[in-house]
Amino acid sequence: MSSMRKLLILCLILLTGSLVLLVWVLFVKDDIKCELNGKEKQSVEVFSKYNEKGIKITNRGKVLSKDKYTLKIKGKVITDKLGDNDIIYIVKYHKKKYTLKRVVSVIDSTPPIISTNIETVTKDVCTKKEIQELTFSAEDNYDKDLNEKIERKDTEEEINLSVSDSSGNISTKKLKIVYTEKPKNIFSLNGKNIIYVPINTKYNEKGAIYKDGCGEPLQANIKTTGNVNTSVIGDYTVKYTLEDGESLKRTVKVYDPNIPNEKIIYLTFDDGPGNTTKKILDALAKYNIKATFFVTNQFPSYRNLIKEEYINGHAVGVHSYTHKYDIYKSLDSYLNDFNKMNEIIKEETGTYSQIFRFPGGASNTISKSYKKGIVSEIAKYLTAKGYLYFDWNVDSTDAAGAGTEAIIKRVTTDVSKCSKCVVLMHDIKTTTANAIDPILAELTSRGYSFQVLNSDGPKVQHKIAN
């Protein structure tokens, strides 16, 4: 073989090798793979920390060191807001670019928390009302206050509370209902224990009734005995008896309305006028009864009612301008307060009042802390000037906080203990305003007469304690 031919063959071999090497370098040497660490779609709980897992880059199965490529991450996971967040990974290796994407969903899988003030609900067996009112609230980790979205469903045995947040997470809470013990059955009169019937009029028997503890009428055989002769003045007893022997009695008093009742009642009201005085005046007008008002200027916007009291035939007396007990510091301080109130009475009625009532009554001991002997000094001075003070012999106890029913019972009971009863009440008490009509209805039914206090009235005065 010639040297030229050998040289040509050698050149071909070298050229082929170079081409093979070039192909290997270009197509065989690099086998780059870019993969996400973790899943392509991930979820993270709202308000929690997101841990970025990154990516993995390999060449022919071997992890490339970070100095061999560049990585840029676009996007951010905001975990305080629900929704999807895209994370883009851009890898540059030699002159090639690789792009990967991960979707991170911020989710809320935590249900709301329902809180209640009690765990067991106790209801009244009769009214089905809660003894202690159930209150509840709902707090969600994302939506926060869900109180208005709570649904309540009651059955006989339990109360079911449920609430759903904006992500559809539902919370429920069940509370057991227990009932109070049912009260004993009640045997009671229809109407009052004492009934007043004018002579020669018809007596209407109201009977009695037997009820269960919740007030529902029960079938019962009630035997009624006793006769009422309305043509003869006197007291009659009607008896009501159940089959088991339990019995009740009613007294029926037949009287002659044309014979004056020796009992006289003087209704007196202190501390007003105020926002309930008008209701009391209306009740007095309804029964055509006159009363005595010992007035103050505690509520100046109602002072015009003093005039209304006067023109409607009620007596108006001085109580106090301020109704503060420091007026007992001296004779002068008391008289200054007294005269200021009497001037208002003069402006409203056209005349000064000659009657008064000490704040706290003549027997009060509060005055001792201001000046010893001050009430005696005031009483002596004003009596010498022609004024007359009044206390009371029947106390409604409204100033002590008695409720309406207690006031009614106290007044209608205690007037039987005196022939001339001066009743203490306060026209600024709502309880008294609610009690006055039942009191007047009861006392007028007994045939009592009513008068106002004046110089001819009973000298009902307490023993002065200071």
Task: Kindly indicate the confidence band of residue 419, based on its pLDDT and cuts at 50, 70 and 90.
Answer: confident
Q: Work out the mean pLDDT of the chain and round it to a whole number.
A: 92
Largest CA-CA distance found in the chain, in angstroms, rounded? 173
| Last residue of one domain, picked from the residues 87, 107, 127 | 107
For the record, the structure tokens of 221 come out as 């055989």
Q: Are residues 101 and 131 in the same domain?
A: no
For the record, the structure tokens of 163 come out as 């609430």
Q: Are residues 47 and 175 in the same domain?
A: no
pLDDT of 333 reads 97
Marked catalytic residue, from 108, 314, 337, 426: 426
pTM for the structure as a whole: 0.52
| Last residue of one domain, picked from the residues 90, 107, 124 | 107
Q: Are residues 318 and 192 in the same domain?
A: no
Lowest mean pLDDT among 130-144, 147-161, 191-205, 287-301: 191-205
Q: Is the dihedral of CA 76, 77, 82, 85 positive or negative?
A: positive
Q: Confirm whether 462 is a catalytic residue.
A: no
pLDDT of 260 reads 60
Q: Are residues 352 and 413 in the same domain?
A: yes
Q: Tell me whether residue 25 is in a domain.
A: no
- Report CA dihedral (375, 380, 386, 390) to the nearest 10 degrees: 40
What pLDDT, in 10s, does the model give residues 430-452? 999 999 999 999 998 888 889 99
Q: Tell me the average pLDDT across 152-157.
A: 95
Q: Are residues 402 and 273 in the same domain?
A: yes
Residue 430's φ and ψ, nearest 5 degrees, are -60, -40
pLDDT exceeds 70 at position 20: no
Q: Are residues 287 and 412 in the same domain?
A: yes
**Angle value at C-alpha 121, between 118 and 122, nearest 5 degrees:** 125
Q: Are residues 95 and 203 in the same domain?
A: no
Distance, in Å, from the CA atom of 257 to the CA atom of 236, rounded to the nearest integer, reads 17
| Last residue of one domain, picked from the residues 72, 107, 142 | 107
pLDDT exceeds 60 at position 176: yes
Task: Kindly indicate the confidence band of residue 382, based on its pLDDT and cuts at 50, 70 and 90.
Answer: very high
What pLDDT, in 10s, does the model give residues 281-324? 999 999 999 999 999 999 999 999 999 999 999 999 999 999 99
Q: Are residues 275 and 401 in the same domain?
A: yes
Q: Confirm whether 86 is a catalytic residue.
A: no
Domain span at residue 89?
31-107
For the record, the structure tokens of 77 come out as 């996971």
pLDDT of 254 reads 87
Percent of the chain clearing pLDDT 70 (strictly above): 95
Distance, in Å, from the CA atom of 290 to the CA atom of 314, rounded to the nearest integer, reads 5
Evaluate whether 440 touches 284 at the Cβ level (below 8 Å). yes
CATH of the domain at 152: 2.60.40
What pLDDT, in 10s, does the model give residues 96-141? 999 999 999 999 999 999 999 999 999 999 999 999 999 999 999 9
Lowest mean pLDDT among 144-148, 198-202, 376-380: 198-202
Q: Tell me the average pLDDT across 144-161.
A: 96
Task: Kindly indicate the confidence band of residue 30, based on its pLDDT and cuts at 50, 70 and 90.
Answer: confident
Q: Are residues 167 and 194 in the same domain?
A: no
CATH of the domain at 268: 3.20.20.370
Q: Are residues 284 and 349 in the same domain?
A: yes
pLDDT of 446 reads 85
- Report CA dihedral (264, 269, 273, 279) to the nearest 10 degrees: -60
Q: Are residues 307 and 248 in the same domain?
A: no
First to last CA, the chain: 158
Q: Tell me the average pLDDT across 391-406.
A: 96
pLDDT of 19 reads 64
Marked catalytic residue, from 270, 271, 391, 427: 270
* Sheet of strand 151-154: strand arrangement: 120-123, 170-179, 158-164, 151-154
CATH of the domain at 84: 2.60.40.10
How many domains is the chain partitioned into structurally?
4
pLDDT exceeds 50 at position 221: yes
Residues contacting residue 289 through CB under 8 Å, at least 6 positions apart: 267, 440, 444, 450
Q: Tell me whether residue 326 is in a domain.
A: yes
> Strand locations in 219-261, DSSP E?
223-225, 234-241, 247-255
Q: Tell me whether residue 464 is in a domain.
A: no
Q: Tell me whether residue 401 is in a domain.
A: yes
Task: Kindly indicate the confidence band of residue 24, based on its pLDDT and cuts at 50, 70 and 90.
Answer: very low
Distance, in Å, from the CA atom of 360 to the CA atom of 332, rounded to the nearest integer, reads 19
pLDDT exceeds 50 at position 409: yes
pLDDT exceeds 70 at position 261: no
Q: Tell me whether residue 69 is in a domain.
A: yes
Alpha-carbon distance values, 261 to 134, 255, 445 (Å): 55, 10, 12
Task: Kindly indicate the confidence band of residue 6, based on its pLDDT and cuts at 50, 70 and 90.
Answer: confident
Q: Tell me the average pLDDT across 141-148.
A: 95
Q: Are residues 312 and 364 in the same domain?
A: yes
